């Protein structure tokens, strides 16, 4: 089991490194070049021409991913609750999973609103 966890961790780090290094050359060439060419910057960053807009987009994708994980956890907790067959310990664990996932969803929604209000005010965009 420990070897499987280590293998998955190394694999995840390798995928992250490959993703990062495949993004960096295009972004660094467009952003850090001596010429200020907004079309190159927009092409390298997915259409965003400002750093604030790029950060807002990254944070929104990250929060969307976390929301998806929280919804999956609610579903997992519900399935665990249904298949617990009256086992008090399993029912308690399922209720904790559902409760913590719902608290996570609330925190994710509040942070989404807060981030979009603060960063969106500076970029002139509204979520």
pLDDT in tens, 42-84: 666 666 666 777 778 788 888 999 999 999 999 999 999 999 8
> Is residue 26 domain-shared with residue 54, that is, in the same domain?
no
Residue 69: which domain range?
A: 50-127
pLDDT in tens, 80-104: 999 988 889 999 999 999 999 999 9
Q: Which secondary structure element, helix H or strand E, spans residue 106, and what is its range?
A: helix 88-123
> Is residue 55 domain-shared with residue 41, that is, in the same domain?
no
Distance CA 88, CA 78 (A): 15
> Is residue 87 domain-shared with residue 108, that is, in the same domain?
yes
Q: Over 70: is that where the pLDDT of 31 sits? A: no
Number of structural domains in the chain: 2
Residue 31 near residue 43, CB atoms below 8 Å = no
List, in sequence order, every beta strand (DSSP E) within 1-107.
none
Measured CA to CA in angstroms, residue 46 lies from 37, 39, 43, 55, 126 at distances of 14, 10, 6, 12, 18
> Is residue 72 domain-shared with residue 83, that is, in the same domain?
yes
> Is residue 56 domain-shared with residue 108, that is, in the same domain?
yes
> Is residue 10 domain-shared with residue 38, that is, in the same domain?
yes
> Is residue 42 domain-shared with residue 67, that is, in the same domain?
no
């Amino acid at each position: 089991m420990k070897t499987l966890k280590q293998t998955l961790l190394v694999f995840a780090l390798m995928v992250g490194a490959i993703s990062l290094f495949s993004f960096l050359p295009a972004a660094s060439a467009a952003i850090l070049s001596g010429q200020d060419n907004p079309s190159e910057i927009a092409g390298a960053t997915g259409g965003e021409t400002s750093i604030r807009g790029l950060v807002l987009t990254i944070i929104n994708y990250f929060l969307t991913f976390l929301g998806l994980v929280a919804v999956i956890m609610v579903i997992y907790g519900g399935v665990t609750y249904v298949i617990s067959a009256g086992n008090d310990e399993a029912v308690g664990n399922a209720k904790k999973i559902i409760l913590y996932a719902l608290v996570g969803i609330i925190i994710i929604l509040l942070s989404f609103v807060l981030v979009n209000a603060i960063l969106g005010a500076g970029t002139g965009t509204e979520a």
